[in-house]
Amino acid sequence: MGDLVKYANKFCPKGVSHSHDRGTKLKNNKITCFLCNPYGDSIAINFSKYCCKNTNTYKLDKNQKCALFLGFNYLRNKYNINVPVEIFLIINDIYKSLTKPLKIDSHSIKHMMNCYKCSNEFMLMIDEHSCNRHMLPRITRNSRFDDI
Ligand SMILES: [Zn+2]
Ligand SMILES: [Zn+2]
Ligand SMILES: [Zn+2]
């Protein structure tokens, strides 16, 4: 996670007023941190967000292509069904049209920092779930009275 923190600091969240700092003690010490608390880990693991602007899509790997090929062979041998080769391409295309969910990883962080649809939500997530040990881009609120 430490490397991801460094990585996140390379970016400025698009359209979000922020500063790169450790947050405020009072507020951040109350919470379970998704970066360094074992209970907080699940927050990072469970984080999942879809964005239509995300370019990371699924792709059939070699094993999956092989499995499809074997499956088509099986159909031909057992039921005498000849699956046209276009079906293979169509399945491949369906996969390529599906965007993966954004997770806490370098691709997703880069995307969320640079995407107007994602940056605010990601900044709120960081603000809610990271303790004051981490230097991170953090959303600037109009008033920090809610820290007291
Ligand atoms: Zn910045
Ligand atoms: Zn986005
Ligand atoms: Zn922490």
Give the number of the ligand closest to the Cα of residue 109.
2
Q: How far is the CA of 144 from the centre of ligand 2 (A)?
A: 27
At 28 the pLDDT is 54
Q: How far is the CA of 35 from the centre of ligand 3 (A)?
A: 5
Q: Which of 49, 50, 10 is nearest to 135 (CA)?
A: 10
Asked, for residue 130, whether it belongs to a domain, the answer is yes
Q: How far is the CA of 10 from the centre of ligand 3 (A)?
A: 19
12 lies in the same domain as 43: yes
46 lies in the same domain as 115: yes
Q: How far is the CA of 108 from the centre of ligand 2 (A)?
A: 9
Q: By the 8 A CB rule, do 3 and 116 touch? A: no
Q: How far is the CA of 6 from the centre of ligand 1 (A)?
A: 13
Q: Which of 85, 105, 107, 89 is nearest to 97 (CA)?
A: 89
Asked, for residue 147, whether it belongs to a domain, the answer is no
Low-confidence stretches of the chain (pLDDT beneath 50): 143-144, 147-148
Q: How far is the CA of 128 from the centre of ligand 1 (A)?
A: 18
16 lies in the same domain as 49: yes
- Taking the model in full, what pTM does it have? 0.77
Give the number of the ligand closest to the Cα of residue 132.
3
Asked, for residue 89, whether it belongs to a domain, the answer is yes
Range of the domain at 128: 2-55+102-141
83 lies in the same domain as 116: no
Domains in the chain, number: 2
Asked, for residue 30, whether it belongs to a domain, the answer is yes
Tell me how far apart the alpha carbons of residues 43 and 5 are, in angstroms, rounded to a whole number: 15
87 lies in the same domain as 113: no
Give the number of the ligand closest to the Cα of residue 10.
1
Give the number of the ligand closest to the Cα of residue 112.
2
